[in-house]
Amino acid sequence: MEFDREVDARGLNCPLPILRAKKALAGMESGQLLRVVATDTGSLRDFQAFAKQTGNELVEQRTEGEEFVHVLRRR
């Protein structure tokens, strides 16, 4: 999957991965994809809630070893 921007949130705990994603999304155009890589296990539910609250689409979530990958589509 191709994405327009990536945020490396490895080693950051809540709420920093969400805040970094929010900042990145603010500079993106509607329909563009943002990929966020985090190591915080809470990021799985955090990004689900964030997508519902903001109207951005959570396209994909997956676990790769000890990392959690979240792909959001800008509303």
Q: What is the largest CA-CA distance in the chain?
A: 31
Tell me whether residue 47 is one of the annotated catalytic residues: no
Task: Name the residue with tokens 């500079």.
Answer: 27
Is it the case that residue 71 has pLDDT exceeding 90?
yes
The predicted-structure confidence for 41-57, as pLDDT tens digits, reads as follows 999 999 999 999 999 99
Element housing 53 (H / E): helix 43-54
Q: What superfamily in CATH does domain 5-74 come from?
A: TusA-like domain (3.30.110.40)
Per-residue confidence band for 2, with pLDDT thresholds at 50, 70 and 90: very high
Average pLDDT, the chain: 97
Question: Which entry of 14, 16, 44, 69 is annotated as an active-site residue?
Answer: 14
The whole-number pLDDT of residue 1 equals: 85
Q: Rounded to whole angstroms, what are the CA distances from 46 to 1, 2, 8, 69?
A: 22, 23, 16, 12
CA distance 67 to 75: 25
AA letter at 69: V
Instruction: Check whether the bond before 15 is cis (ω within 30° of 0).
Output: yes
**In the chain, what are the domain boundaries?**
5-74
